[in-house]
Amino acid sequence: MLSFRAIGTFGGSMRRTFAVLYTFLLCALLNTVALAQSAADPGAAEKQFARQMAREHGLDAAAVLEILHRATYRQSVIDTMQRPAEAKPWKDYRPIFVTQRRIDDGAVFFDDNRALLQRVGGQYGVPPELIAAIIGVESNYGRTPMRYRVLDALVTLAFYYPPRASYFRSELAQLLLLHSAAFPYPPEELMGSYAGAMGWPQFMPSSVAKYARDGDADGKIDLWNSLPDICASVGNYFEAFGWQTGAPVALRAQVAANARTLDPKGLDPVYPLQQLAEWGYVTDRKLDPATPATLLRLDGVDGPEFWITFRNFQVISRYNKSPLYSMAVYQLSEAIAAAARAP
């Protein structure tokens, strides 16, 4: 039996737990209300944002407001956010990015920039064809037009898109903090995607701040015109998130008739290969049975596809959390490597 003292201690612990939970829920509610009010009155939200930038980062609030007022609301940004390609099934998503044209263009891009890609790949321990594939998926090797001013996209999403307003406000804040000797571009002049991603590698402002690199050693980072900067930034991004040099990415699984049904949540490799094999999922490649992996099911043209994916697959997903994206990048990289001319 519990003593009265133990019950009292237990009750105090429960009260503290409920107090913490209450505080968390209250903060979440207040944040939701604040975002709803922001959508109803973006002008007030912009003023609050400017004051926050002054308080937390020492920027001049009036100057911040002046920059925000140069932005133009873009309804097409909101519309595109509401119909992402990643909502498609794999059979419809793959043909967007893994096409013969993109493979051929990737092979030409690889051949034209082989020395650079191999140098950067060696420096960061990342396959050069993966760097090429990222550039291919993100900007079609620099051919995709940058239709949006980054400032317009981020202001639209920060103050008129409540579902992800807090995220885009943090990216807008980072955009205003980027201007420096190494990144000497006024915020209102930067061009990018509907989500505010910049340059050939489509880095969000926070990724520019953390992972972009000066690959040509000219003292500044140019993700639009400097291939050394572009490639080095992609290589550094993957190294920073733990890319394992020479380790597998994904392997097609052979599925036994009596295979155990699995539905893993997320891409974290939590099963040893031996465990997956015992459950009926194996590959032709010989690997250490203790290698961490997980199972991915995709809706292919000919029915379900099962893939065993590894830590490197999860690293690709740090670029875009959709497993469809990671698989498209991986398959494009493999096709580019096969299509590129031998050195």
**Active centre residues (catalytic):** 138
**Nearest partner of 310 among 271, 265, 254, judged by Cα:** 271
The neighbouring-strand residues paired with 192 are: 148, 198
* Per-residue pLDDT in tens (0 to 9) along the chain, 343 residues: 333 233 343 344 444 434 434 444 443 443 444 444 444 566 899 999 999 999 999 999 999 999 999 999 999 999 999 888 888 999 999 999 999 999 999 999 999 999 999 999 999 999 999 999 999 999 999 999 999 999 999 999 999 999 999 999 999 999 999 999 999 999 999 999 999 999 999 999 999 999 999 999 999 999 999 999 999 999 999 999 999 999 999 999 999 999 999 989 899 999 999 999 999 999 999 999 999 999 999 999 999 999 999 999 999 999 999 999 999 999 999 999 999 987 7
Pick among 1.10.10.60, 3.40.1170.60, 2.60.40.1180, 1.10.530.10: CATH of 250-327:
1.10.530.10
- Strand, helix or coil for residue 56: helix
| Token duo for residue 162 | 């409540």
The answer to whether 242 touches 309, Cβ cutoff 8 Å, is: no
- What is the spatial distance between Cα 125 and Cα 235, in angstroms, rounded to a whole number? 8
- pTM, 2 dp: 0.85
What pLDDT sits at residue 7?
33
CA gyration radius, the chain: 24
| Token duo for residue 180 | 């420096």
What pLDDT sits at residue 87?
83
Residue 239 CB neighbour total at 10 angstroms: 16
**Nearest partner of 252 among 297, 291, 301, 315, judged by Cα:** 297
What pLDDT sits at residue 40?
52
**Residue count (the chain):** 343
